[in-house]
Amino acid sequence: MTQRVRSVALTVVVLVLLGSGGVTVSAQTASAQTVSAQTVDPGTAGPVGAESTGTAGPAQDTAQERPASSGEAPGEDLVELARLSAEAGALGEELHLARADLERADAERQRREREAGVAAGLAVVADVGASRDQSLVDRLATIRYRGGDTGATRAAVLAESPRDLVDRLGTLQRLSGATTSALDSSRAASAEAARLRLEADAASEVARASARDAQRRADDLDRRSDEMRVRIDEVRRRVDALSDAQRALWAGGPLVPPGYVAPAIDGVNTAALNVALTRLGAPYSWGATGPSEFDCSGLMVWAYAQEGKALPRSSQAQAVAGAPVAMADIRPGDLVIYYAGATHVGMYAGDGLVLHAPTYGVPVKLEKVDAMPISGIRRY
């Protein structure tokens, strides 16, 4: 091992922030307390979803050409691996959000289709009513025609007595009123049927547009899921190929810093935290929501679900739900959102620490809350 390799292995601290945002990987010199750090931010490592694995530049090309166990400095391999893992984690969180959006779009389509069906059915009912009322109008007209009942003058001429005249005039009035009422009902029913048909047509068109949009989203989701699987396979392959020294750097410090004591349970949030703390050491797995494996947002979802509270599935959705909290007011159980793209999330554990599921090859652990750039804090 060259002097440069020995120097890196003994003195460099590689802080790799990832796992849908970040994980801290650290080492300390055997004889000094000097700490140096390098941060990989998905927001600066290149756009998620771009073909960045082939355009990262010479450092990436070199990392791809040499095996992880070569005599090169372990930190260089880990920085490149950190970038790949950060992109995979960020894409995974975006896919969670895309799936939720797709489910909402499909639910909206189904609602519109139901509205269209109801409106079409009501239009048929209105048409039937209009036809019924028109038939009544036609029958009344026939009765008047056949009876020669042309008005009050005619009734007076034909009346055989004052009583007969009153009866004839009453019948004439009832026929006239019935005819007018039936005619009005027929017209109103016809107008209502026309309006409902327009509503049904509009709802059907919206439903068709929603279906087309949902299909586009589904196709895009399939494409990006395929890309996600490629990235996951690459990260897994490279992490599994790390040397013992590199794996120690990758895993970082202890699961629980010395002296940490979990806060007492005084509500749902601290209860969720204490539930999440039982998962310390659980492995990271993309898309997992427990109970034995997790991704970063999946750990949040699982912990709060045990206390009967439903959280959004993705870190991006978790970053806008709940109530915003200032750092000065942060409490155990609050969710800490990391990076400008909200691509990582952890749960504040008290004592300036955050509990999170970092990335593949690094178990659920506690780390400094400010080990990664914070973009927001939410309370549920």
Indicate the residue type of 3.
Q
Strand pairing report for 335-338 and 344-350:
antiparallel
Q: Which of 105, 116, 137, 296 is catalytic?
A: 296
Question: Residues with Cβ < 8 Å from 373, sequence gap 6 or more?
Answer: 17, 39, 41, 338, 339, 340
Distances in Å between the alpha carbon of 45 and those of 24, 49, 65, 177, 242? 16, 11, 20, 81, 22
Distances in Å between the alpha carbon of 188 and those of 117, 183, 192? 21, 9, 6
DSSP state of 375: E
Per the annotation, the verdict on 349 as an active-site residue is no
Per the annotation, the verdict on 96 as an active-site residue is no
Q: Which of 83, 168, 231, 344 is catalytic?
A: 344
Tell me the three state secondary structure of residue 118: helix
Distances in Å between the alpha carbon of 295 and those of 156, 245, 357? 94, 25, 6
Q: Which of 356, 357, 371, 377 is catalytic?
A: 356
242: left (phi over 0), alpha (psi -120 to 50) or beta: beta
| 336 beta partners | 346, 377
Annotated catalytic residues are 296, 344, 356
